[in-house]
């Protein structure tokens, strides 16, 4: 702890109180914040109320050292929590069993960020309306909340996406949200996200997928589960089969609001890579039946997987990045092309900025999704198509 950033004394007081330490209000008359250990009154944390006091930074170092000792955590984590007490945080930790994971392929970064966005937007939409599937992850309030969230840097020993959700990101009037109006919208979003992931994990571990699906379909404002097909979709983006990673989501709650009940909101939720198949099963069960009508898509060819057939022509699967006209989002999909269409795909792949149009039935599931019954595969002009307004 060589470099201690400027930390507000009230931040220290509120954070330590949230950990269960007892605040001695009488000491404020002497210009001190004093907090007693939860189970040992002879252990105290003491620091000046005035952050310009000569011994303030020495007191801060002592406080951080004791928190690290008693909470069995790192000084970096404690300092981060002391600096920003106005936000809940969700850490999406990618790791491999038995080994570290300090980086991820760049090609997967955008997909994983989209997965985090889907997890957060699913919770934000569920705060406003409880349902098993949100046909569109949008809305003024949810998008305002997402815009206020901040992405943090990663940590050593694993690859961690850190999302900070300010408690004052959105201010609602009564009746604008479905759940627990007494809490800020941001807290309701982070609680809903963790509740959904906890319920999802518990169902997988206890082999009760069918029971969870039934509860989700029957849930309402009085008994929300937090589970949606969109949440499953987002999590599947974060568990990549080719990378073989697991996922752990770790919440940090702002001490500015009462902490959630620990029985409903565990310290972390961990999904192993073998859980992905069950998550996809739940995702499919919660997605409304889609009509077998082909839709038209515009996209780019990202990967060629074709092989030579008996006639010496190349055919087979290609991986595309498709633009969804309804939402403006992109997703990856695999499509099987005959030798004629595969030749067009090769031209699009080799020429930067070349877009193609294709019609087909986009099946639900984890990415890359499957685009079945493709027709009308053709090149567009070399300029990118106009995206719908966000």
| Secondary structure of the chain in HEC code, one letter for each residue | CCCCCCCCHHHHHHHHHHCCCEECHHHHHHCEEEEECCCCCCCEEEEECCCCCCCHHHHHHHHHHHHHHHHCCCHHHHHHHHHCCCEEEEEEEEEECCECCCCCCHHHHHHHHHHHHHHHHHHHHHHHCCCCCCCCCCCHHHHHHHHHCEEECCCCCCEEEEEEEECCCCCCCCCCCCCCCCCCHHHHHHHHHHHHHHHHHHHHHCCCHHHHHHHHHHCCCCCCCCCCHHHHHHHHHHCCCCCCCEEEEEEECCCCCCCCCCCCCCCCEEECHHHHHHHHHHHHHHCCCCCCCCEEEEEEEEEECCEECCCCCEEEEEEEEEECCCCCCEEEEEEEECHHHHHHHHHHHHCCCCCEEEEEEEECCCCCEEEEEEEEEEECCCCCCCCCCC
- Write down the pLDDT at residue 384: 44
Task: Say whether both 76 and 92 belong to one domain.
Answer: no
Same domain, 265 and 333: no
Structural domain range at position 333:
295-379
Contact 368, 333 (CB under 8 A): yes
Q: In this structure, are 314 and 279 located in the same domain?
A: no
Residue 282 Ramachandran class (φ > 0 left, ψ -120 to 50 alpha, else beta): alpha
* 43 and 190 assigned to the same domain: no
Average pLDDT over residues 279-291: 81
Give the pLDDT of residue 156: 59
Top-confidence residue, 263 or 9: 9
Q: Do 79 and 179 have their domain in common?
A: no
Using the predicted structure, report yes or no on whether residue 168 has a pLDDT greater than 80.
yes
Mind listing the pLDDT tens digit for each residue in 178-204?
Answer: 444 578 899 999 999 999 999 999 999
- My answer on whether 17 and 136 are in the same domain is no
pLDDT band at 175 (very low <50, low <70, confident <90, very high): low
Residue among 149, 325, 95, 134 at smallest CA distance from 232: 134
Task: Tell me whether residue 46 is in a domain.
Answer: yes
Percent of the chain with pLDDT over 90: 44
The model's confidence at residue 332, banded by pLDDT at 50, 70 and 90, is confident
pLDDT band at 358 (very low <50, low <70, confident <90, very high): very high
- Quote the percentage of the chain above a pLDDT of 70: 89
CB 318 within 8 A of CB 303: yes
Taken in order 167, 140, 216, 115, is the CA torsion positive or negative? negative
Whether 257 contacts 184, CB under 8 Å: yes
**Cα dihedral: 220, 224, 230, 234 (round 10):** 180
| Position 242 pLDDT exceeds 90 | no
Q: Cα–Cα distance between 134 and 260 in angstroms, integer?
A: 25
Same domain? 140 vs 282 = yes
Is 150 within a domain?
A: yes
Residues 79 and 92 in one domain: no
pLDDT tops 70 at residue 224:
yes
Say what the pTM is: 0.71
Q: Is residue 1 part of a domain?
A: no
Distance CA 259, CA 266 (A): 12
Q: Note whether 114 and 107 are within 8 A (CB).
A: no
How many structural domains comprise the chain? 3
Structure-token pair, residue 284: 């499919």
pLDDT value, residue 104: 83
Task: Tell whether the model's pLDDT for residue 54 goes beyond 50.
Answer: yes
Residues 109 and 238 placed together within one structural domain of the fold:
yes
Give the domain-ending residue among 230, 260, 286: 286
Whether omega for the bond prior to residue 368 falls within 30 degrees of 0, making it cis, is: yes
Both tokens of 269, joined, read 């939720």
pLDDT of 262 above 70: no
59, 91: one domain: no
Of 286, 313, 337, which residue constitutes the final position of a domain?
Answer: 286
Classify residue 204: in a domain, yes or no: yes
- Opening angle at CA 65, ends 60 and 160, nearest 5: 100
Q: Assess whether 60 and 35 both reside in one domain.
A: yes
For the record, the structure tokens of 338 come out as 């005959």
219 or 47, greater pLDDT = 47
Query: Looking at the domain assignment, is residue 4 inside a domain?
Result: no
177: its two tokens: 């949200």
Q: Single out the residue in 29, 64, 83 at which a domain terminates.
A: 83
Which pLDDT score, from 0 to 100, does residue 263 have? 66
Statement to judge: residues 133 and 30 lie in one domain: no
């Amino acid at each position: 702890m060589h470099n201690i950033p400027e930390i507000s004394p009230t931040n220290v007081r509120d954070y330590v109180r949230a950990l269960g330490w007892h605040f001695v209000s009488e000491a404020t008359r002497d210009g001190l914040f004093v907090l007693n250990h939860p189970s040992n009154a002879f252990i105290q944390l003491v620091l000046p109320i005035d952050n310009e006091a000569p011994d303030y930074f020495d007191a801060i170092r002592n406080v951080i050292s004791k928190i690290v000792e008693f909470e069995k955590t790192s000084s970096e984590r404690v300092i981060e929590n002391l600096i920003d007490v106005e936000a809940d945080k969700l850490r999406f930790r990618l790791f491999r069993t038995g080994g570290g994971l300090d980086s991820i392929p760049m090609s997967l970064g955008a997909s994983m960020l989209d997965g985090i966005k889907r997890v957060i937007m699913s919770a934000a939409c569920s705060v406003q309306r409880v349902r098993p599937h949100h046909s569109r992850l949008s809305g003024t309030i949810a998008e305002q909340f997402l815009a206020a969230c901040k992405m943090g840097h990663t940590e050593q020993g694993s690859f961690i996406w850190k999302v900070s959700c300010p408690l004052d990101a959105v201010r609602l009037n009564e009746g604008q949200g479905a759940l627990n109006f007494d809490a800020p919208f941001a807290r309701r979003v982070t609680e809903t996200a963790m509740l959904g992931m906890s319920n999802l994990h518990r169902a997988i571990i206890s082999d009760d997928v069918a029971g969870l699906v039934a509860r989700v379909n029957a849930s309402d404002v009085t008994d929300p589960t937090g589970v949606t097909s969109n949440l499953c979709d987002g999590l599947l983006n974060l568990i990549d089969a080719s990378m073989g990673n697991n996922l752990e989501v770790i919440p940090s709650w702002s001490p500015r609001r009462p902490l959630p009940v620990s029985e409903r909101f565990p310290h972390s939720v961990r999904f192993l890579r073998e859980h992905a198949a069950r998550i996809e099963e739940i995702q499919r069960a919660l997605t409304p039946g889609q009509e077998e009508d082909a839709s038209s898509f515009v996209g780019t060819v990202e990967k060629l997987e074709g092989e030579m057939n008996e006639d010496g022509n190349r055919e087979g699967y290609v991986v595309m990045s498709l633009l969804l006209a309804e939402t403006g989002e992109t997703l990856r999909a695999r499509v099987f092309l005959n030798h004629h269409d595969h030749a067009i795909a090769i031209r699009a792949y080799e020429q930067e900025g070349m877009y193609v149009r294709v019609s087909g039935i986009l099946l639900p599931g984890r990415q890359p999704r499957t685009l079945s019954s493709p027709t009308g595969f053709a090149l567009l002009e070399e300029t990118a198509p106009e995206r719908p307004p966000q």
